[in-house]
Amino acid sequence: MKKQIKKSPISRGLIAKILLIVYDVFVVNLSYLLALWLRFDCEINALIETEPEFIEAWIKFVPINTVCCLVVFSIFKLYRSVWSFASYREFFNVFYATGVTFVIHTVGVTSLINLIDMKNINRMPYTYYIFGTLLQFILVLAVRFAYRFILLERSRRKVANSKKSSRVMLVGAGAAGRMVLHDMNLATDSLDKVVCLIDDNPHKIGKYIDGLCISGNRYDIPHLVEKFNVDKIYITIPTISPIDKKEILEICKETECELKILPDIYELHDEKIGKNTLVDVDIEDLLGRDPIVVDMREIFDFLQDKTILVTGGGGSIGSELCRQIADHNPRKLIIFDIYENNAYDIEQELREEHPELDLEVLIGSVRDSRKIFDVFAKYKPQVVYHAAAHKHVPLMEHSPQEAIKNNALGTYKTAYAAALNGCERFVLISTDKAVNPTNIMGASKRLCEMIVQSFDKLIKEDKLDTMRPLYEHDDSEVEDRFIHSGSKTQTEFVAVRFGNVLGSNGSVVPVFKKQIAKGGPVKVTHPDIIRYFMTIPEAVSLVLQAGTYAAGGEIFVLDMGAPVKIDTLARNLIRLSGFKPDVDIKIEYTGLRPGEKLYEERLMETEGLRTTPNKLISICNPTDFDADQLFSNIETLMHICYEKPEKVKEFVESIVPTYHPAGEHGTEEKPKAYQEQIEAMATK
């Protein structure tokens, strides 16, 4: 038995199009008849009795006029627009179509009169053309925008009657603010209603935009939020300075309103400004400083046409390094990472953004001597950014041998392979936790700094041939390959030291956001804990520029700005999410974690700073230590990691003089040289 195929009904869109065509046929001809009727004082009998030739000419031109108008309307897409979203573009399409049909009608009806040789007339009255065209424009436009107005009215009633509707304040009555307001007024699917406008320009206050009064400036926000019962505040000033943005956000976050903001103008590109371009406020918006700007020409000249290796290239810092390096035309970019998922993600991103890039993605560990040496021997990278590291402080406290294996030994093996294979520059990504470390992660990174400084010293003294490779297993073939494959090199080894980066893996900000999304509590280790913060792109751009300044042996220190209280950070995030700290979202103090300390430092007391052309990058004066003894200790440390892991911390303490383990509950000891300065900055 054959299945009966059910015929699909005619679509609503097709029916609407047919009805619109019928309507147009009617009004484009009726408009000119009405123009004649107006010409004769709305007396149809007077028109018929005194000037019947006008009626005759109109009737004979109706078929021609109908065909011409339908063709012109089709050309101007008057039957293809979605009229529920009609805007100024559709308005101008109707306007232009009417203008074209006016010309056609004027020429056509006049030619017809002369062609059929009417004795009493040789043209229609001027008012026929003027009023006919005007009436046609009004009638054609009215039906098309009527649907839009009906939807808008329904939307307004829906917002007015809905218990879920939100009352919105717009901060910024400039061009961007007007565009957002217009977009929200035209939106038919939004429950947001703009009830108040704010602007700092005193000449605008008291004036109206789209029927809304500009009621005050930034300092009136708390009062006006209460007056207009505002639920949300949208900051619509894409050109706002960081300092002004911080001040406005500080005012807004005390109102408990949900906050959104337009991105900076350079982030908008050609995107049309509207409600959909508003984004959530990020915590970096409260840093209150200008974005760090780096001279990218120096970086471009340094990286262009070079083979570059990024270890840990799938991590937070490593992946951003890869993005910025890819923007500077390297000859080849090699991403090396042990975690294949992260490596895959950055690979796909770069292949899409830079299809011309010669990209190689390799999976492996910096702890694997043979693997890392094979990578250098095969690809001969000229510049290495060594970002591979274990960075989680509490986890490393419980597995200290892993911190040493991956961070210190991994750095040694990577640096050794770089030196023997003609690498020009090796840049270690370090951390402020390496300064007077109280945890094994920080101590391992301090060891990394000492290792690269020692390598640089040996190269300058032409003693690299006295070095031996590190590997865990007795493999004479590997040893022979390591020693005899390299040529004389002048690798410049440097380190770049900086603090926490907002949004990186393990950063408190993503953790706090997840806790807020779950309704709390937000867990802060200590009410007085302070950290330095910088955005990932800022930190990476400074790392790249520091690499261009290297002469070998330096530890570059990045200016992270003023320190931030983590407790304040958490409270700001809660407020920015539209909640009240300790009321809607509780803050819970859990105590310092293993190895954690209250304050981080940029420098040890024995270190000083030298300047560079970029005032945000300084050079730390190195401390003296015996490089030969260090390398002997590193080899001993390697064996301890595998044979007596419980002795790792004790031995590291003996070879890193500034390492003082904090124990299971961290330390609240405040560094003497920085205590007053840090407390003053934190209070500010």
Give the C-alpha separation, 427 to 415, whole Å: 9
Q: What's the pLDDT at 61?
A: 87
pLDDT digits (tens, 9 = 90+) for 571-618: 888 877 778 888 888 999 988 877 777 777 665 555 566 777 777 778
Give the C-alpha separation, 533 to 608, whole Å: 22
Residue 152 has pLDDT above 70, yes or no: no
With H, G, I as helix, E, B as strand and everything else as coil, classify residue 7.
coil
Assigned CATH topology for domain 296-512+531-560+594-683: Rossmann fold (3.40.50)
Give the C-alpha separation, 574 to 584, whole Å: 9
**Percent of the chain that is helix, strand, coil (3-state, to 5):** 50, 15, 35
* Domain residue ranges in the chain: 12-157, 162-281, 296-512+531-560+594-683
Q: What's the pLDDT at 683?
A: 47
pLDDT digits (tens, 9 = 90+) for 108-122: 888 887 777 666 677
Residue type at position 422? G
7 — pLDDT class (breaks 50, 70, 90): very low
This model's pTM is above 0.75:
no
Q: What's the pLDDT at 50?
A: 64
Give residue 666's region: left, alpha or beta (phi > 0; psi -120 to 50): left
Could you count the other beta carbons within 10 Å of the beta carbon of residue 118?
Answer: 16
305-341 b/e (C-beta count within 10 Å ≥ 16 → b): ebbbbbbbbbbbbbbbbbbbbbebebebbbbbbbeee
Residue 4 has pLDDT above 50, yes or no: no
* % the chain with pLDDT above 70: 78
Q: What's the pLDDT at 89?
A: 74
Residue 324 has pLDDT above 60, yes or no: yes
Give the C-alpha separation, 10 to 18, whole Å: 11
Same fold across 162-281 and 296-512+531-560+594-683: yes
Q: What's the pLDDT at 481?
A: 52
With H, G, I as helix, E, B as strand and everything else as coil, classify residue 237.
coil
Residue 681 has pLDDT above 80, yes or no: no
Region 485-491: what's the mean pLDDT? 62
With H, G, I as helix, E, B as strand and everything else as coil, classify residue 137.
helix
Beta bridge partners of 533: 500
Describe the strand order of the beta sheet including 192-198 as a list of residue ranges.
208-209, 212-216, 192-198, 166-171, 232-235, 258-261, 279-280
312 — pLDDT class (breaks 50, 70, 90): very high
Structure tokens at 462: 């032409």
Across the chain, mean pLDDT equals: 80
311 — pLDDT class (breaks 50, 70, 90): very high
6 — pLDDT class (breaks 50, 70, 90): very low
Structure tokens at 232: 């949300």
**Please, how many CA atoms are within 13 Å of residue 115, restricted to the half-sphere of its CB?**
9
159-168, 348-357, 404-413, 653-662: range with lowest mean pLDDT: 159-168
Residue 369 has pLDDT above 70, yes or no: yes
Give the C-alpha separation, 627 to 137, whole Å: 88
300-304, 515-519, 607-611: range with lowest mean pLDDT: 607-611
Residue 96 has pLDDT above 50, yes or no: yes
Could you count the other beta carbons within 10 Å of the beta carbon of residue 19?
Answer: 11
pLDDT digits (tens, 9 = 90+) for 437-482: 889 999 999 999 999 999 988 888 887 777 777 766 554 454 455 5
Q: Calculate the CA dihedral of residues 110, 113, 116, 118 and round it to 10 degrees.
A: -150
Which of 509-523, 560-574, 612-626 has the largest mean confidence? Answer: 509-523
Which one is predicted more confidently, 447 or 672?
Answer: 447
Give the C-alpha separation, 655 to 154, whole Å: 75
Distance set, CA 69 to CA 28, 225, 669 (Å): 7, 53, 85
Which of 131-145, 544-558, 599-613 has the largest mean confidence? Answer: 131-145
Region 292-320: what's the mean pLDDT? 86
pLDDT digits (tens, 9 = 90+) for 40-50: 777 776 666 66
Q: What's the pLDDT at 356?
A: 94
Q: Which residues contact residue 427 at a Cβ distance below 8 angstroms, ignoring those fewer than 6 apart? A: 383, 384, 385, 386, 494, 495, 496, 543, 546, 547, 550
Q: Alpha helix (H) ranges present in 172-257?
A: 175-186, 221-227, 242-252
Q: What's the pLDDT at 543?
A: 84
pLDDT digits (tens, 9 = 90+) for 170-204: 898 888 888 888 777 666 556 678 888 989 888 88
Residue 624 has pLDDT above 80, yes or no: no
Superfamily of domain 162-281: NAD(P)-binding Rossmann-like Domain (3.40.50.720)
Region 311-326: what's the mean pLDDT? 92
374 — pLDDT class (breaks 50, 70, 90): very high
Structure tokens at 406: 């991956």
Could you count the other beta carbons within 10 Å of the beta carbon of residue 628?
Answer: 13
